[in-house]
Amino acid sequence: MKDISFGQYYPGKSIVHRLDPRTKLLFTFFYIAAIFFVESFWGYLAAALYLFVIISVSKVPLKTVLKSVRAVIFILLFTMVLNLLFYKEGEIVFSLWIIKITDRGLVFSITMGMRLILLVTGTSLLTFTTTPTALTDAMESLLKPLTYLRINVHDFALIMSIALRFIPSIREEADKIISAQKARGAEFDTGNIIQKAKAMLPVLIPLFIGSLRRADELALALDARCYNLSDDRTKLKILRYRAADLSAVFYALAFAGLIVLDRLVLSGIGFIL
């Protein structure tokens, strides 16, 4: 639970922190789309350099950002192994019984691992540099056109805000429950997968009950303060685009152009071949 960085905010006064949250949210979506558009090692290298520059400007420690990868290390290894075993195109470089590993399968497995690492670090940087309130305000602003379809965007923004705020609280409560269970002699690191899953039941049940109790208390607090989601609610901080957001747009366009150029070069080579 300590490795889960989503929902955490790293306080700072960098240029990235001061950017409009709508700009950061849109760039994150474009960044994710660009990562799926990459097909070569040079493209992944460009994406890694692009992300490294943003991390450096944001002044968030690289160790803190990379810590988010530890939370998905099992998914990362599992994905790479599956692609390594079931990708059959290319020349066989290793064969053992029914296991056959090809050169193209090895390359594809590595690129998939790089893609997952870049996706996790890029999305975690969004929450590191944006407060949950600013992030939900950005979502509400970007989804405002949906109000013409009679979709209540305010409810969605409130749900997202509460969810983001409760992630660190649930993580801390889970750590406390695990420490209390260990003090009573519970073991979570021994045995097979089934035994470890059974050992987590004394943690999940009080965690689930505590989450429901906290949700009920929050609902009573909102009702006691006469909180409502009317359209004439005002904001404490008004979102405004600035010159720094325009500079970030040019930076993102340069990255997108580089990825498209890399894709076109690969397409041209494939057409020639």
Q: Is residue 119 part of a domain?
A: yes
Which structural domain, as residue segments, surrounds residue 93? 1-130+241-273
Q: What is the pLDDT of residue 4?
A: 55
Confidence of residue 269 (pLDDT cuts 50, 70, 90): very low
pLDDT at 78: 82
Q: Is residue 144 part of a domain?
A: no
Residue 160 shares a structural domain with residue 215: yes
Tell me the mean pLDDT in the region 83-110.
75
The reply to whether 195 and 228 lie within a common domain is: yes
Does residue 231 share a domain with residue 163? yes
Residues 173, 247, single domain; the answer is no
What are 100's strand-pairing partners?
95
**What is d(CA 129, CA 132) in angstroms, rounded to the nearest whole number?**
10
CA distance 175 to 182: 11
Inside any domain, residue 141: no
Is 137 inside any structural domain?
no
State pLDDT tens for residues 136-184. Answer: 888 888 888 887 777 777 777 778 777 777 777 787 888 888 888 888 7
Total domains present in the chain: 2
Residues 224 and 248 in one domain: no
The CA–CA distances, whole Å, from 12 to 62, 78, 122, 129, 156 equal: 14, 35, 18, 8, 28
Q: Is the pLDDT assigned to residue 6 strictly greater than 70?
A: no
Same domain, 59 and 8: yes
What's the CA gap between 32 and 118, in Å, rounded?
A: 9
Same domain for 122 and 255, yes or no, is yes
181-194 pLDDT per residue, tens: 888 777 777 767 77
- Distance between CA 146 and CA 262 in Å, rounded? 36
The SS3 assignment for 207 reads helix
Confidence of residue 271 (pLDDT cuts 50, 70, 90): very low
| Element spanning 14, H or E | none
Q: What is the pTM of this model?
A: 0.70
Residue 99 CB neighbours (<10 A): 9
Whether residue 113 lies inside any domain: the answer is: yes
**Same domain assignment for residues 115 and 12:** yes
Q: Is residue 256 part of a domain?
A: yes
| 223 and 257 assigned to the same domain | no
Q: Are strands 92-96 and 99-102 parallel, antiparallel or unpaired?
A: antiparallel
Summarize pLDDT for 56-78 with one digit per residue, the tens. 888 888 888 877 777 777 777 88
Average the pLDDT over 209-221 and give the result.
86
Any domain includes 136: no
Please give the structure tokens belonging to residue 144: 């405002």
Is residue 143 assigned to a domain?
no
What confidence score (pLDDT) does residue 9 get?
Answer: 78
Whether residue 22 is found in the same domain as residue 81: yes
Tell me how far apart the alpha carbons of residues 17 and 183 are, in angstroms, rounded to a whole number.
40
Residue 7 has pLDDT above 70, yes or no: no
